Amino acid sequence: MILRTCKVNNECYVYSSANIFSRLRPGGVWYFNELLPLDSPAHWLYRVLPATWVWAKNNSWSLYAFYNRLQEECQEIKLKRHAFTQLIMHEVAEDALNKKPLMVQAVTADALPPAFMRLKELANQSTSITSEFTIIEGWAKKKE
């Protein structure tokens, strides 16, 4: 099961993890891979559309908060944090903005035109944008 680390309709990941743990029997194990927006401050989206960083700070969880939530329900937890840096082509970034993922949908529509302008400015400087993202992989065993 994949856990989304953001709020959707004012329901945050704590509710989602409760759903997951309610489906596990005692001693059951949950395996997961998850993106962590707060642990990816150099992601290209935050530079192009700064309002998404503000949204992420208010609506998502860091590795520390995620781990603490798991400790409430689990007797054993194993986590690995992976941080990746990659080059993003401007066309890919523009396409992503046009598709309006959840973080982009969460900001006001008037924030988008300046984001496309910043993207164009970055395109004039280089053929790609350096970006970072963090993924955790792990498992958690529910208390018996």
pLDDT single digits (tens) 49-75: 999 999 888 877 788 888 888 888 888
Domain boundaries, the chain: 13-142
Rounded to an integer, the average pLDDT of 124-134 is 92
Contacts of 38 (CB under 8 A, 6+ apart): 56, 57, 60, 61, 62
Tell me the longest C-alpha to C-alpha distance in the chain: 58
Residue 89's H or E segment, with its range, is strand 74-89
pLDDT single digits (tens) 33-49: 888 888 999 999 999 99
Of 11 and 111, more confident: 111
Q: What single letter denotes the amino acid at residue 7? A: K
pLDDT bracket for residue 16 (50, 70, 90): low
CATH of 13-142, one of 3.40.50.150, 3.90.226.10, 3.40.50.1000, 3.40.190.10: 3.40.50.150
Single pTM value for the model? 0.77
